[in-house]
Amino acid sequence: MFFKYTWFFAVILFCWSCAQQGSPSGGPRDLDPPVPIETNPPNYSTRFEAKKIYITFDEYIVLDNVNQQLIVSPPMEEKPEVKLKKKTLIIEFEETLKTNTTYTFNFGDAIKDLHEGNKLQNYEYVFSTGDVLDSLSVRGILKYAENLEPPDEPLSIMLYSDLRDSVPLTDIPLYIGRSNDSGVFCVNNLRPDIYKVFALKDANNNFLFDLPTEEIAFLDSSLIVNAAFARRLLGDTIVPVVVPDSILVDSTGMPADSVVEKGPDLNAIYIDLLLFTEESEIQYLTDYAREDRRKLQLTFARSLTDTFSYHFLQEKNESDPTVLDHFSSTRDSLTLWVKDSLHYLKDSLFVAASYTVKDTSEQYVLRMDTLLFSYKEKSSRNKKGQAEEKKEEKLAIHTIRNNANQELNQSLPLVIDFPVDRIQDTLISLYHIPDSLEISVPFVVKIDSTVFGRARLSASWKSAASYRLVALPGAISSIYPLEHDTIDVKFTTRDLEYYGQILLSLENVKNRVVVQLFSGDKMLRERTIVEDGQYAFPFLAPKEYSFKFIHDLNGNGRWDTGNYMEKLQPEPVELLPVKIEVRSNWDHDVTMKLEK
């Protein structure tokens, strides 16, 4: 009996043990990145002579895009080879190192653990070939000049001790760093010197500013990286909040708010850099299309000058087509409307376009492109595969939808797909419907001179009122003989109490300022301010808004980018520090003191 029960309990214990081994233990997910536990030679070594570096971690790791992520500063002529062996990362290089130089290997986001993918961000291995480790650094924030947003990817931060203006175009930098996804950057282990400082979105990964589309930021003047000099310069004004012996300057030499990352106790100089793309001087045709038989579109890289011309290439003794042309407001695109059917019914039209470009010797010359505009009619077939009879083409008018809300401060749009030729307002009726009775109300309808294919109907809209719009056939005519159907829509205007208002008080206005009001990424309104005062922005829907202030230094009414070789920074931009939550039937007082 004893042996029987002993065997019984043994089976139970065995089964319980197996169940325990087969069940997940649970517990919190591992969120910690890999930790280096041993380096050979030791990190921050001096008198470094090794050709291999071994870095061992506390867990198995993988490398993600290490050839692009690894930055060696100062740069090596050939990038080191990086390998993995179990938990150890091995760096090999054959290059002869510079004497008395501090090298920094920054791995960016390349190192992560095997199972969870936790990244060890910006891990640095540092050594010196001399007796001393250089311990100065340059830190700061990189933002786009136009909107003060950080870049959405890491960019190169480059330092040169060669102070020639052309150095970023011809030489690789002496030191290289990288910004993170918040725009924060740090270039560590610098020797005391005077540097030119740049940030670059390096499209071809050669550490040279050699492509017209590459984005660049630069410091206006050379930067003295020397802790003793900083102390003499600022004296008792130094406030060592996080990093001792640091000064805060931006590209204009004014104090700058910079984010401090955790790191070694280094002497640091803080700068802010503003990233921009130069306006290209290269003119070329970027695109051309014929989406409709009657409509030819040409798009260029830059605004067209007065030397631009075009003409149709015709068969001998064939007449030229009658064309209505329209340039965009920035003159970088052109739309040609072919008016006569003799020409637009052709499947192929040839246009020769002439415009000014720079040749390889930087001389302006006239270039001609011959363009083929093809159009093939789309065939329409039924379910049996039979070609359907082509329907008569109608002129479609796009306007407010039935039962939609019309804004009190806006005109009512009337939009067609072709240029408007004329409007017969006698064929248009607008009715106010206070009860069941329709009362005719006066209105004005005009062709929009800025946009082909649009007209605007204006009236003295009543608050929270019902209206009816009727447009009989022939009310709107395009340049083509197309008829539209009767338009009959009912709509309601907004209640005046639906809107809120922002009263913006501007202080310290010292130049022309373009004030832009945004809802999300969409700009809603724009006005130019030349003096201090309070400015109203009425008729705002209840939602969140923001303001952008452009210091229009050249007075052309828009933001202008910079140019490195001309030592021209982009026009300064400021943002209202907070977003404004507008409520219905409220006035919101906002004060902004401009700093630039």
Output the pLDDT for position 230. 55
| Dist CA 89 CA 120 (whole Å) | 13
pLDDT at 24 over 70: no
Residue 480 region by backbone torsions, left for phi larger than 0, else alpha for psi between -120 and 50, else beta:
beta
Residue 91, both tokens: 């760096």
> Which residues touch 283 (CB under 8 Å, ≥6 apart)?
300, 301, 302, 355, 356, 357, 358, 367
Output the pLDDT for position 79. 86
Which domains does the chain show, CATH number per domain? 36-128 (2.60.40.1220), 136-277 (2.60.40), 285-374 (2.60.40), 404-497 (2.60.40.3710), 499-593 (2.60.40.1120)
Could you give the count of Cα atoms lying within 13 Å of 329 in the half-sphere of its Cβ? 5
Residue 395, both tokens: 């002129």
pLDDT in tens, 535-580: 999 999 999 999 999 999 999 999 999 999 999 999 999 999 999 9
Do residues 274 and 145 make contact, with C-beta atoms less than 8 angstroms apart? yes
Closest Cα to residue 154, out of 123, 173, 177? Answer: 177
Name residue, tokens 């022939």.
Answer: 474
**Mean pLDDT within 282-297:** 94
pLDDT in tens, 197-243: 999 999 888 899 998 889 999 999 999 998 776 555 545 444 333 33
pLDDT in tens, 35-69: 999 999 999 999 999 999 999 999 999 999 888 88
| Dist CA 263 CA 184 (whole Å) | 13
Q: Report which secondary-structure segment, H or E, holds 342.
A: helix 341-344
| Dist CA 533 CA 107 (whole Å) | 51
pLDDT at 97 over 90: yes
| Dist CA 36 CA 59 (whole Å) | 9
Output the pLDDT for position 358. 83
Among 313-317, 320-324, 582-586, which is the least confidently predicted range? 313-317
pLDDT at 250 over 80: no
Do residues 468 and 489 make contact, with C-beta atoms less than 8 angstroms apart? yes
- Higher pLDDT residue, 233 or 130? 130
Residue 151 phi, psi dihedral angles, 5° rounding: -60, 150
Burial category of 292 from C-beta neighbours within 10 Å (exposed 0-12, middle 13-18, buried 19 and up)? middle
Among 9-23, 60-74, 322-336, which is the least confidently predicted range? 9-23
Do residues 225 and 269 make contact, with C-beta atoms less than 8 angstroms apart? yes
Neighbours of 2 (CB within 10 A): 6
pLDDT at 14 over 50: no
- Higher pLDDT residue, 364 or 159? 159
State whether residue 42 is helix, strand or coil: coil
Output the pLDDT for position 111. 93
| Cα Dmax for the chain | 121
**Mean pLDDT within 403-424:** 95
| Dist CA 171 CA 103 (whole Å) | 19
For a pLDDT cut of 90, what percent of the chain falls above it? 71
pLDDT at 448 over 80: yes
Residue 96, both tokens: 């002869």
Strand pairing partners for 179? 185
391 confidence band (pLDDT: 50, 70, 90): confident
- Higher pLDDT residue, 245 or 317? 317
| Dist CA 99 CA 104 (whole Å) | 14
Neighbours of 198 (CB within 10 A): 21
Residue-level length of the chain: 596
**Mean pLDDT within 163-173:** 94
- Pick the most confident of 2-6, 241-245, 255-259, 520-524: 520-524
pLDDT at 464 over 80: yes
Q: For 327, which DSSP code?
A: E
Residue 369, both tokens: 């492109």
| Dist CA 515 CA 409 (whole Å) | 20
Output the pLDDT for position 560. 95
Output the pLDDT for position 204. 87
Residue 514 region by backbone torsions, left for phi larger than 0, else alpha for psi between -120 and 50, else beta:
beta
For a pLDDT cut of 70, what percent of the chain falls above it? 87
pLDDT in tens, 133-142: 998 999 999 9
173 confidence band (pLDDT: 50, 70, 90): very high
Residue-averaged pLDDT of the chain: 87
pLDDT at 419 over 80: yes
Burial category of 374 from C-beta neighbours within 10 Å (exposed 0-12, middle 13-18, buried 19 and up)? exposed
Neighbours of 125 (CB within 10 A): 21
Name residue, tokens 């708010």.
Answer: 257
Could you give the count of Cα atoms lying within 13 Å of 194 in the half-sphere of its Cβ? 6
Do residues 218 and 251 make contact, with C-beta atoms less than 8 angstroms apart? yes
Residues 254, 260, 266: CA angle, nearest 5 degrees: 95
Output the pLDDT for position 353. 96
pLDDT at 362 over 80: no
384 confidence band (pLDDT: 50, 70, 90): low
Output the pLDDT for position 94. 86
The per-residue DSSP string of 118-136 comes to -EETT-EEEEESSS----E
Residue 11 phi, psi dihedral angles, 5° rounding: -65, -40
